Structure 1
């Protein structure tokens, strides 16, 4: 591969891995794309690193008892009723059913054929960022946007092709969060930001083509913890658009409110992205994870078993109400959360119960005022459409202002967002085992390069594994006693159960499994020895083989 002034530190695949595609890694790793990535990295990585340090400082304040609150410094933004977010962009007016999944070729074809309105392809929580996965994902999206993604699966001989009788959903890309690095790529001696790398490659290659297709480059922005992190994205958007002679405001970003600190700054986040804002989304599983994570050292905020933390408990219900109120006040979409269920084959009774639960969840969302919702499996799309079509006959319901149309509406306060009291919630030995099993199985799959995994008829990703890890840490730290067996949750107990689960899984495990490696990383986290910031950063070095560190050094590339 020849790129002037680029040092190739390890061989880049001649693309046998990407055999289903006619597009190669060389098509993606072009000089122009890498120049944009370097330009953005040099301009903004210092701010990214400073914002990550600010997260640590905020955590220290919370640990000391200074809980999140609405910011006095931004009161004028919240009280100014004159500003609005951007009007819905082409292809983003009606978003009633969105499907999500990693940028894997089969998944992309199935999603584009599913008949949903929007498809979020995910480089973050449902993708393990091996070099092959990252580059293959970019290749697959490049091909999908140009409708050249049809292929025959080598392992099965099955043909995957885009249907001509289904309207294509609008594509939205989720890059990695600010905390992730792309260690295969160096710039000035430092790993590149994973978020900047994902964004730059996709934007450079596809922005003009998407505009020609009648839509635009649209993104989901994950795991932000403050409005200053949204400002960073907005500045990156402006520089990227200016660099490619694309009008500012063409990019749109939907922010996933996945952190409890971000929930206190929803309005400010929309304000920072104004001309680029396409609303907010209730990233429910990450939000539960963040609530446990941020409040983990305070015993009054211990949460019960994951199954008892529903969307109707006080802090989750308040989060939903505030998000809808804020979004509609500012004229942007308020998107609902994920239905992670997978159809249960071979058991019609259990499947009927599961699907009824999906329908109930979507009914709650649409009647609360959400403008759309997420599903993890194409089979759930018809359920979501049925509910939203019935109760939301308009393309969206941004016009619905619950604070103005409901005389009994009570405005959500900061205290409401922190109300983690869950009546009837229990902590059980089954909850311990389920958390250990889910966390262990997910981590094992991630170490093999898989970012989303079906477990117990649910599609689990990094967010749900984080809930499992964080609950176990919190329960051990505070020496909680189980409500069913009246046993104190100790490091010895969680280690014993972890060992039991590993032993059971190894009985039928395939050769090359990573259960013991996963357990090595999991054990300190669930016995209270340490609490890592993210599982994905904890495990990342394990999915970089020694001969891949590093693949490209862009330090001498002029940009």
Structure 2
């Protein structure tokens, strides 16, 4: 009562943050405005949230959520049906059924604003890192994409920092200070900057820190679009520099139409000009490449570009085509843009873009300069030059780079190719080619050889995926690995490629020369070896959690990893606020015929019943569940120093499992209340102890009993087994002593 009353009074004193604020017993704030309940860092009351998330801003997001959340959530089922239809069409050889032709042969998009006529080089990076945002703006690129999606791990604090950096950056006010070589270096935005563009999160993602009773977590696209346009839309419009958005993971024209309706609503409510918000869509899913026309036409009044999201494109190919041995990818070194199927993909984007009057943006060159190694830097520059020459040849009007050091070489290359022009929309490059569905999905015959699928390639995919996810779960979404700047797409590409090898049962060439299919059992063995290698090299990253995320992603096989990774990145929401893609909403009395009789039965569909198994349906045994609880408690109460936690246990099974799951940092607490609830007179053998653990007398005599004493309850078998497990952990590679 005291906390709630105090927070209400403080809210009245602070007009920008009026609402119902709660302070939880775990020091996690929550704050309700309208239908939206904010949690964690989004609900905190500080300089950043007061700037970004005032009452009016949250109320606008709440209204946007009320109007469109059901439509956005319903798209997930459409995507699942699309996957089933696509796989069936390919299996039956109905290739042309996948292509969606233009409904009008002569339509064009609206002309782009002058500032977006020149997009030869765009640089990308995470929104939450102020130094990187400043360096991108100062890089000399034509535009910079400030990313709220794949290169930013969406923790609550990163989301706040990302939106705050965007707010300050578009006003030229963003600064950063870094301790470099013992001195403080200050970063500021210069007078000539790249045109800022913002990549919002995809329609498949949830903002778990903003929930509403009628849909649960707010769709992340609505949160990012609503907050950005509310805070920055008018400012950018009045200065002729936006708002400009990148939108990822588009599949169909239906999704594009929902996005169009969302943006039109925002513009009308916020007093922006019609179609003021310009959009570039990423064509990075298999269905989207066959629907470039319908996606573009749904956004015709505001579309200014389509971009080739390469790594996600390869991931999507493996997801949609992976069970068919005729389309399974080889090792990643053989999947470059020079391959015929990738060329066809690139050219299809160019054809649609130039026929309809918008920019065809090439993909990311992830190579980055290597500090202190000029030879490796020169090698990276040569690889980027070859890559961009191919994109120019295909007809692209510009491309992405991942590092400021790559901007000028690529800009010079495009200037030389375009001469006095700012793009090549009038070029005939690729325009007269006939590109079929088979050109896009089929692999060249030599790529199907088992010699091109190797244990080395498997280990590379596992190692890169584990390294990336280790950083991602630590809050860093843009990671330099093997002299390349990687984001979440590299994890997805690795994961889906591995799963496709398993599903298709194609032969893999192993290090011993044998050729055989990859099984899940073999995969888990190799995965454990790669985890051990990485832990030995860098024990600070959470490789155990990264391994869990990867293995669950491989077994559960969702199209996108965000639901699974979110449970580890935001452990306070791992209890199932997001249950698959289900909409959890309050049912009105009308839906029950005007009243709800206490004896009236309610029939639930099978999908909902399955969803009630929770976010971890594979945890079926008590031991598995308790091990999971131990891991969860470790993540939930993480700190910089060694921190021991205790969890209530009532048996040796529970005690051993919680210690094992918590890697020696979670111990058993034998609680009197729990034992009383179970009944002190209960006598049963410990479920964990085998005959090898018991003395002859124990095995033949009465089983272990729970021992009780006033004020103190002791579970003898729990202590016995806990000591044994701790001893095993002390002798293992687990880094904690216990």
User: TM-score, normalised on structure 2?
Assistant: 0.69
2:68 corresponds to = 44
- Which one of 321, 327, 347 corresponds to residue 353 of structure 2? 327
Determine the C-alpha separation between the residues in 1 that align with 2:97 and 2:502: 33
Q: Which of 1 and 2 has greater Rg? A: 2
Return closer, same or farther for 1:400/1:23 CA change in 2, 3 Å cut-off. farther
Measured against aligned partners, the alpha-carbon deviations of 1:122-173 in whole angstroms (never above 9, x if no partner) come to 1111111000000111111111111111232368653333354x62111110
Q: State the 1:69 CA deviation.
A: 5.5
CA contact (8 A) 1:473 1:525 kept: no
Return closer, same or farther for 1:540/1:524 CA change in 2, 3 Å cut-off. closer
Q: Which moved more, 1:418-427 or 1:303-312?
A: 418-427
1:87 corresponds to = 111
2:514 corresponds to = 486
Determine the C-alpha separation between the residues in 1 that align with 2:183 and 2:170: 24
Q: State the 1:249 CA deviation.
A: 1.2
Return closer, same or farther for 1:524/1:136 CA change in 2, 3 Å cut-off. closer
- Which one of 379, 386, 392 corresponds to residue 412 of structure 2? 386
Determine the C-alpha separation between the residues in 2 that align with 1:184 and 1:399: 46
> Secondary structure of 1:402's match?
coil
The answer as to 2:344 corresponding to 1:318 is yes
User: TM-score, normalised on structure 1?
Assistant: 0.90
The number of aligned residues is 538
Determine the C-alpha separation between the residues in 2 that align with 1:134 and 1:147: 20
1:414 corresponds to = 437
CA contact (8 A) 1:109 1:160 kept: no
CA contact (8 A) 1:325 1:401 kept: no
Q: State the 1:403 CA deviation.
A: 5.6
1:151 corresponds to = 176
Q: State the 1:424 CA deviation.
A: 4.7
CA contact (8 A) 1:69 1:264 kept: no
- Which one of 447, 452, 466 corresponds to residue 440 of structure 1? 466
Determine the C-alpha separation between the residues in 2 that align with 1:438 and 1:60: 29
Determine the C-alpha separation between the residues in 1 that align with 2:524 and 2:98: 45
Determine the C-alpha separation between the residues in 1 that align with 2:430 and 2:556: 43
Q: State the 1:5 CA deviation.
A: 4.6
Q: State the 1:538 CA deviation.
A: 1.3
> Secondary structure of 1:323's match?
helix
- Report 1 or 2 for greater relative contact order, CA contacts < 8 Å, sequence distance ≥ 6: 1
Determine the C-alpha separation between the residues in 2 that align with 1:160 and 1:183: 34
Determine the C-alpha separation between the residues in 2 that align with 1:459 and 1:471: 20
Determine the C-alpha separation between the residues in 1 that align with 2:242 and 2:556: 43
- Which one of 142, 145, 150 corresponds to residue 120 of structure 1? 145
CA contact (8 A) 1:462 1:536 kept: no
Return closer, same or farther for 1:293/1:549 CA change in 2, 3 Å cut-off. closer
Q: State the 1:479 CA deviation.
A: 3.1
Q: State the 1:487 CA deviation.
A: 3.5
2:425 corresponds to = 398
1:518 corresponds to = 546
The answer as to 2:253 corresponding to 1:230 is no
- Which one of 483, 491, 498 corresponds to residue 527 of structure 2? 498
1:199 corresponds to = 225
Instruction: Spell out the pairing of 1:525-544 with structure 2 (5 A cutoff).
Output: 525-526=553-554, 529-544=555-570
- Which one of 204, 210, 217 corresponds to residue 185 of structure 1? 210
Determine the C-alpha separation between the residues in 2 that align with 1:12 and 1:525: 30
> Secondary structure of 1:470's match?
helix
Determine the C-alpha separation between the residues in 1 that align with 2:567 and 2:228: 24
The answer as to 2:37 corresponding to 1:11 is no
Determine the C-alpha separation between the residues in 2 that align with 1:206 and 1:8: 29
Unaligned segments of structure 1, at least 5 residues: none
Unaligned segments of structure 2, at least 5 residues: 1-9, 12-16, 32-40, 578-584, 587-738
Q: Which moved more, 1:347-356 or 1:454-463?
A: 347-356
> Secondary structure of 1:343's match?
coil
CA contact (8 A) 2:99 2:290 kept: no
Determine the C-alpha separation between the residues in 1 that align with 2:308 and 2:288: 11
2:323 corresponds to = 297
CA contact (8 A) 2:252 2:287 kept: yes
Return closer, same or farther for 1:127/1:289 CA change in 2, 3 Å cut-off. same
1:61 corresponds to = 85
Q: Which moved more, 1:438-447 or 1:418-427?
A: 418-427
Q: State the 1:465 CA deviation.
A: 0.9
CA contact (8 A) 1:314 1:422 kept: no
Q: CA RMSD in A?
A: 2.7
> Secondary structure of 1:400's match?
coil
1:371 corresponds to = 397
